[in-house]
Structure formats: structure tokens, C-alpha cells
A and B are shown apart, each in its own frame.
Chain A
Amino acid sequence: MTLLRFRASPEQDVDLARTYDAVVVGSGAAGGMAAHVLTSQGMKVLLLEAGKKIPIEQELRSMQWPYDHPRRGDAPPGYHAIRFNEYNVRKPPYAKGSAFKHVFSYVGGWGGSDYVKNILVDEKDHPYTGTKYAWVRARLLGGKTNIWGRLALRLSDYDFKGKTHDGYGEDWPIAYADLEPYYDKVDLYLGISGHKENLPHLPDSLFQRPNKLTAPEVKLRKSLATMGRTLTPYRAGVTTDGVKNKYRSKCFGRGACGRRPGGCDIHAAFDSPTGLIYPAMDTGNLTLRTNSIGHEVLVDPNTGKARGVSFVDALNHRTYEAKAKVVIVAASTLESARLLLLSKSRQHPNGIGNSSGHVGHNFCEHVMGPGVTGLVKEMVGAPPTLDDGKPGGFYVARFRNLQDKQPGFIRGYGFEGGSGFSIFPDNAWGTPGFGGQFKKSVREHAGAFISMGGFGEVLARYENYMDLDPEVKDSWGIPVLRFHYEFSDNEKKMCEDMANAGKEMFEAAGIEVVGVDKNILTEGWSIHELGTARMGNDPKTSVLNQFQQSHDVKNLFVVDGSSHVSASCQNPTWTIMALAWRSCEHLADEFKRGNL
């Protein structure tokens, strides 16, 4: 696009005449980490965030009682969250033709949409097309880290060397030993809660004080141990003992994280602004510009190298240019792919960094939906206890296709679960009848349920991809992503096994199974999108090298989940940050040597 020079509004008074050492696109887990590492190495960094900076504490209001909110947490009239059925009976763009004033992803309908109405994107402004997909996006400083689920797990060589283990896909260009020191750094800098288990497939972190379990969870843990399986307290990206960071408090077990779509207004749960960006600004090396929608990585016509980023101001819709010696893309897996594909030039006709043709391909994520609910008989009628005052419930580590070989599918899944009393007795919905008996039954059973749901690895396949829609544009005139993606037979077989295995495990523990859910939730539901610009040693079949550096353009890095070679079944945020830390350390070294 053409460069037009406009003066930014006063709050956006960022010097765009200078050439920064690096420009980072995106301020979530990856972009925040890039800003932290590079500024601590003395580099002058400009951070562009497409969304706004909002007083997040006023949005989250973590301890507000339902009855103190005029709509008991719901958003004002005219706000609508897309429902499960809508995702499946319709095709995107889901907000097209909607009579509602604002349309949000399904997360906006979960436990209090008023608390996320300024965090999630309005689907009306941010359409996408193609196959069905529940795409959850948060455009604001810190991105989805403002509301993430906090489960902070490490991957292992079962993941990094998956091809070696079972022959499918590609190995990552790194091993666990390469990343372990950076996982340690992330643990220590940001804080993580957990309990050591010494599992080779789910390596321990450097844990702070762990979550506690409920009595039914202890019972299930003991039973699973006899089966060689592990239930561990939720490994939460939450500082429970505190970290040296003036913007963050330690966790006080208020429990808001369980009854809302995440979000912690004392910032004990990691979020990118308080965990990474504000401390980076305190170095004096970081310049932040919000409302800045990157839409093209600019290329030097002589060298073919990246020379900066063109962006649209979200408020005034004008186009600006940020100049930098190094460009770091960290806009989230799908947005990063979109940005690379949008960056077409004479040298890079298929989009920058895309000589392999793999940008947008090899998409992977987690499949979820199947799960099990059980009734713990001895808890019926037990007096209420404080069960939800902690960052999470429990996690059951992967147990499939480690030593064994399943007939129906490769790779594995873990379960996330919880039990006990919470602020709202969900069992009321399913309790039949009315009157005194109904009321008593709800009360007596409210704390007696335990449930868990699987998160399984979706295989990275070249045929699962996103490209640019040739016609549809977003509210800023930027072409949108078009999805070509669906679950394969491996995911479907795995999901059948999830439901069956969950049922077996509850029954073995003496928990009465009252519900088995076999339905698979819409693609995208896990909010763990990965791939689209994978790392690898071969420039013909991968986009980035092991330092998330473009094979084609040496001063271009893509440091978010798009670089992942496979999805693993373990949640990605901690790995995204460990990788970004490792790559940005390498980047800073190369920069100082003049190699970029």
C-alpha cells in the first residue's frame, strides 16, 4: 500500500520518522515476550497492537457478585454471542446479516458477556469465510492473554520428535533439551503453579505453590495411579508465591478465573501487559502504539529484506509506516499467516516468507468436546466447602500412544476437569421437577459432581489451510482469511476413545457416571490454533528455521504459535513464550553481530 504520512493523534504520538531496531506486530504472549527479551538486550523496539488499551480491571471486575450487576453479568441488549448450533448450521461470516448490534464468538456467551464485550472482537467488523470455524479473537493490548485459561504445560520429545516416535508428520527442528532452559526462564520470570510428577511426556516446571484438590479429585487421582495414569492439580500460569514485578500480585484464591471467561484483575494470572510489556516499557527501550493494524510487511526493493510494517490506524483508518531493521510477526497463528500472505511484492509474489508455499498450511490445534460427568455419592448432602477458590481444577496427563499403540488413532489427549461447589449450581438445569423437593435436591447435589473433558492433538496436515478471500474485506478494507479446514478420521476416532476412556476411569474410581458427552465441538473451539508457518530444517517444506527466522528473509521472524510443527495435546502458551524467548535471544545476538 502507499505510504501516507499523517500525524497521529496525541495519545498515539509515536515517532514514526525514526528507524527502530525492531518492530513487533502483536502484543499477546509471543509479542510481549519478544518485547521483553529484545528490550532487555538493549534493542529499541516498536510494538504495534491492532486493538486498544483499556482499563482492564474495570472490565473484569473479578469479585463482583452476580446480584451487584444489573444484568447479572450479561451484556446490554443487542449484544449476541454465537451459539454452538449457529457455528454448525451456518457458514462464516457468522455476523453477516445479523440484526444484533454486536456479535461475538461463543466465549461472549459464557458466564458473563458484559465482562468481555470490550475484549473480544466484534464479528461484524472482523469477518472470515470458508469452512465452519469458531474463531475467538481478542484485539486489545495483551490479546487473548487477558482471558486465557491459564493451563501452562510443557511439551516433551514425544511432541518435538513425534515423527520419530510414530512416523507421522515432521519432527520439530529442536528437541526438549534445546527448549528446557527457556521453559525455566519463563517459569521463573512469570510464575507457575503446579505439583511435580516426574512424567517424561509432561515435564515438570519450576513450580510455585500448587493448587489444591477436592476430596473426589484425590479419590480419582489415587485410582488413576493404579492404572499408571496421572491426575495432577491444574498447572496454572499464575503466580501463587509472587514474582518480582510491581504490576502483579500473587494469587489470593478469589476464584473469579473459574466463573468467567478468565481474566484476573490483580494480574496473578499471567497476562502479557503486566507480565511482559509494562516491565519492558520501564527499560526505556520500548515504544508502544495501539490501534495499529499491521497489514503488510514492507520490503526493500533492492535487497528483498523487510524494512518495516505498514499499518492502518484502527480509529482514523489512515495508513502509516513503521520502519525497522528487523520485523517480528506475533499477531497470533491465524493473523500472522494472514499478514504474511498480504505482504506480496515483486520479490515475494506469494507473500513474504512463502517461497515454500507452506504459509497458511499445516494448520493444527486441539479437538475437544467429549467428556464425562460423574456423581460422587458420598458428597451428596455434604456441607458446602470452598472448592473454587483457586486458579483451576485438575489435569489428567496424556496416556495414549506413549508405550502402547492404539489401533484407531495416533497421538494423544489429556483431560481438564473440576469438581465441587461453585458460585452457581449448574446441576439445577438438569434437576427435574419443582418445589421443595427440587430445591432440596439442587442443594444436596450441588457439590457432588465431577467432570472432565478431553483436549486432543489435531494432526498437522498440508490440506488443512487458510488463504486470503479474494473478495471479502474487514472494516478496514483488509482482505480476510478463508478457511479450508476440517477434522480428519484420526481426530474422530480419538474423540470416541476420549469419551470411553473417561467413562472407564470414573467407573474404576467408584464414581457414578451420569453423563457421557460424545459430541465434538466446532473446529477452533479450543482456542489453541497452531501451525500455518511451521519451523523446519528444509526451506522447501517449512517457513521458518529453528529460531523462528524466515528461511527467505533473514530479518523477518514469526515468533508465535504459527511456528509450531505439531499441536501436541498440551496447551501451547508456555511453549509459545519459551520459543519466543529462545529465538529473540538468538535474534539479539545476530543483530549485535550485524548478521541481520
Chain B
Amino acid sequence: MKISRRTMIQATAAAMSLPALAEAPIPGPSPKPLFFTPAEFALVDEMSDMIIPTDQQSAGARAAGVATFIDARLAESFEKDQPERWRAGIKAVEALAREMHGKTFMASTPEQRLALLTRIAAAESDPKSDAEKFFGVIKSGTIRAYYTSKIGIHDDQQYKGNVIQPGEYAGFDAT
């Protein structure tokens, strides 16, 4: 067993911001979130789509159902500190939104939301405040959910594997 034994450490560290797993429904529009309040869900949905937006190549986190996946996992989390961490982080973001713009994150203008996200992302390598720490939480949650989604794997990454190769392997000979 091999190189993956090393890379899994990184992956595990990153995935730690996500709860320990739950039976999630098929990702898609979720009119009634399982864990988040509707307001919290809207914030997570919007912020995840700002982290991985739609571009010319592929649709973004909203279309990939990132918030729905995160919500379902948190709803069944065995470790209670995980959902609490998300809830506290969202609160910190809302407090910052009021401080910066005098209204909730979702009531802010797109420019104001971007200003807030830019501010908490600036401290990514060394987050101090709860809002700054929440950026790491929602970013890794978004990465995990987006790049394991159909849109992430096929449309964005255009992944070529997980197919049957009846003949030679793809690649180059050792000559």
C-alpha cells in the first residue's frame, strides 16, 4: 500500500471540517433542509457557489447540490461538535455582515457579499476570528462535495478514468 497512505493524511485533515457522515438524499434542490434553518441553508448555498461558481467550463456548487450534501451529512452527524461548528461559523459570518453592511449576508448586495468573503478568505493561511475560520470549514466542505459530484467529476474535471480498457493501458512505455 502506497503513496495514497501519505495523501490520505492531507485528505483526512481537510475532510475533518465535514461531519462524520450521514445518509444523504440524492443531491438536488432541497426545499426543506434537514439540519440547517432555511436562512442558514441559503447562506451556505450562496457562499459555496461563490467559492466554486459557474464558469465557461462547468456549472458551480449550487447546481452540484453542495449545500444539500453538506446539510444531509450534518443532520446525521455522530460528532455533535461538527454541526455546532457550522452553526457557530454561520453566526459569526452574519455578525460580520451586520458589522460591515448593517444587514444579513443574504440581504446584502452581491458586491457586499463578495467583500465579506474576500475579507475572511484573506486570512486563509492563518485564520483568527470565527468568521475567518468558517471560510476554511465551508471551503473544504465545498471542495469535497463539488469534486465528488457528477458536475465536478465529469463536466469540470472531465475525468477520463473508471472505464474498462480492454487492450493496452493508456500512457507511455518505459523505454
Contacts and interface: CB of A to CB of B under 8 A. Distances in A.
Interface string A163-176: 00000000000000
Given A388-B161, A434-B51, A212 B57 contact: no
A218 interface: yes
B129 interface: no
A110 interface: yes
A43 B78 CA distance: 51
Contacts of A78: 20, 78
Interface centre among A151, A423, A525 (most CB of B within 10 A): A423
Contacts of B162: 63, 65, 254-256, 389, 423
Contacts of A308: none
Nearest to A431: B143
Interface residues of B, number: 66
Interface stretch (B29-37, B102-110, B147-155): B147-155
Given A386-B163, A423-B161, A452 B171 contact: no
Contacts of B23: 70-71, 76
Given A436-B55, A443-B156, A213 B161 contact: no
B170 A389 contact: yes
A386 B5 CA distance: 22
A213 B140 contact: no
A76 B161 CA distance: 27
Contact of B20 (A80, A255, A393): A80
B12 to A, nearest CB: 5
B50 interface: yes
Contact of A423 (B21, B117, B153, B166): B153
A301 interface: no
A436 B163 contact: no
Nearest to A234: B2
Contacts of A253: 164-165, 169-170
Given A109-B8, A110-B8, A423-B153, A254 B20 contact: no
A149 B5 CA distance: 10
A261 B70 CA distance: 24
Interface string B8-19: 111110101000
A100 B20 CA distance: 10
B76 interface: yes
A111 B6 CA distance: 12
B150 A387 contact: no
A76 B73 CA distance: 10
B148 A72 contact: yes
B173 interface: yes
A416 B2 contact: yes
B119 to A, nearest CB: 12
Interface of A: 63, 65-67, 70-81, 83-84, 100-101, 106-107, 109-111, 147-149, 151, 195, 209-215, 217-218, 221, 231-233, 252-256, 258-259, 261-262, 368-369, 371, 383-390, 392-393, 416-418, 421-426, 428-430, 432-436, 438-440, 443, 446, 451-453, 517, 521, 525-527
A195 B174 CA distance: 8
B157 to A, nearest CB: 6
A439 B174 contact: no
B147 A213 contact: no
Interface centre among B3, B149, B160, B168 (most CB of A within 10 A): B3
27 contacts: A72-B148, A76-B22, A77-B21, A77-B78, A110-B12, A111-B8, A111-B11, A147-B1, A209-B168, A213-B174, A232-B174, A254-B163, A368-B6, A386-B165, A389-B160, A390-B171, A393-B3, A422-B161, A425-B157, A434-B51, A435-B50, A438-B52, A439-B53, A443-B156, A446-B157, A451-B6, A453-B3
Nearest to A384: B158
Nearest to B148: A66
Given A428-B147, A527-B1, A423 B10 contact: no
B156 to A, nearest CB: 6
Nearest to A71: B21
Given A77-B76, A78-B78, A110-B5, A434 B139 contact: yes
Interface centre among B2, B8, B117, B149 (most CB of A within 10 A): B2
B5 A439 contact: no
A421 B159 contact: yes
A84 B7 contact: no
B148 A389 contact: no
B82 to A, nearest CB: 10
Nearest to A215: B172
Interface residue SS majority, chain A: loop
A74 B18 CA distance: 11
Contacts of A388: 161
B27 interface: yes
A521 B171 CA distance: 32
Nearest to B65: A67
Contacts of A149: 1-2
A270 to B, nearest CB: 14
A368 B5 contact: yes
Nearest to B142: A434
B170 A218 contact: no
Contact of B21 (A75, A101, A107, A392): A75
A429 B140 CA distance: 7
- Top 8 nearest A-B pairs (CB, nearest first) are A212-B171, A149-B1, A253-B165, A110-B8, A66-B148, A77-B78, A386-B160, A386-B170
B55 A439 contact: yes
B24 interface: yes
Nearest to B80: A99
A204 to B, nearest CB: 13
B101 interface: no
Given A66-B153, A77-B76, A416-B3, A214 B11 contact: no
B4 A111 contact: yes
Interface centre among B22, B53, B124, B161 (most CB of A within 10 A): B161
B42 interface: no
A439 B156 contact: yes
A521 to B, nearest CB: 7
B160 to A, nearest CB: 4
Contacts of B160: 384-387, 389, 421
A215 B174 CA distance: 10
B21 A384 contact: no
A394 B69 CA distance: 35
B122 to A, nearest CB: 9
Nearest to A74: B21
B9 A84 contact: yes
A85 to B, nearest CB: 9
A446 B153 CA distance: 12
B20 to A, nearest CB: 6
Contacts of A417: 3
Given A83-B16, A386-B170, 17 more contacts: A67-B150, A77-B78, A78-B20, A83-B12, A106-B5, A111-B8, A111-B11, A213-B174, A254-B164, A371-B6, A384-B157, A387-B160, A387-B170, A421-B161, A425-B147, A428-B147, A440-B57
